[in-house]
A and B are shown apart, each in its own frame.
Chain A
Amino acid sequence: MDSNIMKEKIIHKGAEATLYYGSWFDKEVIFKYRIPKKYRIEELDKTIRNDRTLNEARALIRVKDYGLNVPQVYEIDTKNSIIVMKYIEGEKLRNALESLDNSRKEEIFKEIGRYIAILHMNGHIHGDITTSNIILTKNHKIFFIDFGLHEYSDSIEDKSVDLHLLKRILISTHGKDFNMCFNAFLRGYHQEYCKEATEECRQIIKNIDVIETRGRYVKKEERL
């Protein structure tokens, strides 16, 4: 490898990738390396790593157009499933949330809601909206990361599922802030979405409840 490119240390071992902090020419970067997962067969593993790497890199580049803060992509190595992207200095929302005061929490979630609405209105599904996939920077910017499960879709169902995932992570991980944060999120989402399509927005939000009563316990006589 080029001596201008260096992986310095592992900063995270996730379900999909191992993330290294390092340098790429004169830039501070993250190497998101989708390492082979030996629990699954090679054919499947290769396809998944390849697809997700390409998918994520493309999404990061596209969604920038809508004014979203996402890390800039510097290099894509599809052969080894590596994305080199800008290092975002800041704190994961997951860890930052507790120490923020309530008005700031509401402000942040309203803003997140606005951005997710913009994505959805343009047919982008994030695919894994969690508080681990949002970074807050020192100068109060909100960065969205982890677009590996990103999809293109205009369907109400896919958009509702996206919101449902956030709702559940807030319940399970930030239980006592759930109501305040999710309501603020929905306010921001609604406000933005309604600039274009009020009825569709209403349906997306309503459909979250429908998703919740599914899957749970499918009555056996209703099974296939």
Chain B
Amino acid sequence: MDSHKKICLGIESTAHTFGVGVLDFEGNVYSLVNDIFTPKEGGLHPVLVKEHHLNNFMITIKNALSKANCSIKDISLIAFSDSPGLGQVLKIGALIARMLSQILKIPIIGVNHCIAHIEIGRLMCNIEDPLTLYVSGGNTIVSAFESARYQIFGETLDLSIGNMLDSFARDAGLAHPGGPKIEKLAQKSNNYLELPYIVKGMDLSFSGLYTAAKRLIESEQYGKNYNLSDVAYSVQETCFAMLTEVTERALAHTEKKEVLLTGGVAANKRLQKMIEYICKEHNARFEVVPLKYAGDNGAMIGWTGILRYKMEGGQKLSDTFIKPKERMDQITVPWRD
């Protein structure tokens, strides 16, 4: 590592991933370390997640620094996720960031997690002004930059896509996370069972689809007329077609020339293929964010922190509060103008 470069440490702590990234102000990432809390059963309990992050943050930061081949003293900026997410978990990230900022006497900056997903995608894919489809365990958003903001053109009205896939998988007896397992199973079938397809303008609803899929595996026909692969295939074909339709509608509406696919669900090959298809139709460039940067990670927080820091400088410590419900379209992005 070049010792003359300015280095930022980014901390991601909105949900089950405690992530740390070390990168310089030009966007070269030196290390990326994630410590992911996986519940033994059921959903995520904020208290358990919080405990996990508290127990592991020191070692995670140490690992990230040593992988980056640098010492804590080389850091000149701390960025942390201040929104949106679980309040208790966001607080941990903020606490650690404030502590480091005070001890090291370096500036601190809070970052919106959703915007960070887009910014790291723009950096890694070298893409300028994309329409973004951000699909993960917590979010399902179609966004593009318009009149000084990352505007939300479409989103889910109920469940997020990842949550729907994981919940269905859990009901079918598959281990968490269910998305990749459903993808594998789906490859073994081409027997389509009809499921509710619900699109409202550029918005989506997955709860009807979830209930119907669940009913299919509880039915007497299950295991006789069709199997789990068939249901997995039908779920994927339905929900990904919905996502593709609203993305195409947003693409036609915004007339953007680039499309970025990100979030954990972006790993799905079938979804990638569908989105790629509409991009060809509209002569738009298509990019999937590389996997380690598509899921939650510290580098995305660091990079977005750097972008804002370059425009506005650091935040006052007293301004570094967390905002669990903040929407990405409420935030100005001065570096995009």
CA distance A48 to B198 in the complex (A): 11
The smallest C-beta distance from A131 to any residue of chain B, in angstroms, reads 9
Q: How large is the interface on A (under 10, 10 to 19, 20 to 34, 35 or more residues)?
A: 35 or more
Would you call B203 and A165 a contact (CB within 8 A)?
Answer: yes
CA distance A39 to B276 in the complex (A): 9
A–B Cβ pairs within 8 angstroms, 20 of them: A38-B277, A39-B275, A40-B244, A48-B197, A165-B202, A168-B153, A171-B151, A172-B146, A172-B329, A215-B140, A217-B138, A217-B139, A218-B160, A219-B86, A221-B43, A221-B44, A223-B163, A224-B159, A224-B167, A224-B210
Measured between beta carbons, the chain B residues less than 8 angstroms from A16 are 245, 249
Give residues in B with beta carbon < 8 Å to A.
15-16, 43-46, 84-86, 137-140, 144, 146-147, 149, 151-153, 155-160, 163-164, 167, 190, 192, 194, 197, 199-203, 210, 237-238, 241, 244-246, 248-249, 251-253, 273-275, 277-278, 281-282, 324-325, 327, 329
Give residues in A with beta carbon < 8 Å to B.
13-16, 37-41, 43-44, 47-48, 127-130, 132, 149, 161-162, 164-165, 168-169, 171-173, 175-176, 211, 213-221, 223-224
The smallest C-beta distance from B132 to any residue of chain A, in angstroms, reads 13
Q: Residue of B at shortest CB range from A174? A: B147
CA distance A171 to B143 in the complex (A): 13
Would you call A213 and B325 a contact (CB within 8 A)?
Answer: yes
CA distance A165 to B158 in the complex (A): 15
Would you call A172 and B151 a contact (CB within 8 A)?
Answer: yes
Would you call A220 and B137 a contact (CB within 8 A)?
Answer: yes
CA distance A219 to B160 in the complex (A): 11
Measured between beta carbons, the chain B residues less than 8 angstroms from A218 are 138, 159-160, 163
Measured between beta carbons, the chain A residues less than 8 angstroms from B163 are 218, 223-224
The smallest C-beta distance from A50 to any residue of chain B, in angstroms, reads 13
Which among A39, A171, A214 has the highest number of chain B CB atoms within 10 Å? A39
Measured between beta carbons, the chain A residues less than 8 angstroms from B249 are 14-16
The residue from B44, B197, B237, B248 contacting A15, defined by CB atoms under 8 A apart: B248
6 more contacts with CB within 8 A, not counting A39-B278, A215-B140, A216-B155, are: A165-B201, A214-B157, A215-B160, A217-B324, A217-B325, A221-B46
Q: Residue of B at shortest CB range from A175? A: B147
Would you call A216 and B273 a contact (CB within 8 A)?
Answer: no
The residue from A14, A39, A130 contacting B274, defined by CB atoms under 8 A apart: A39
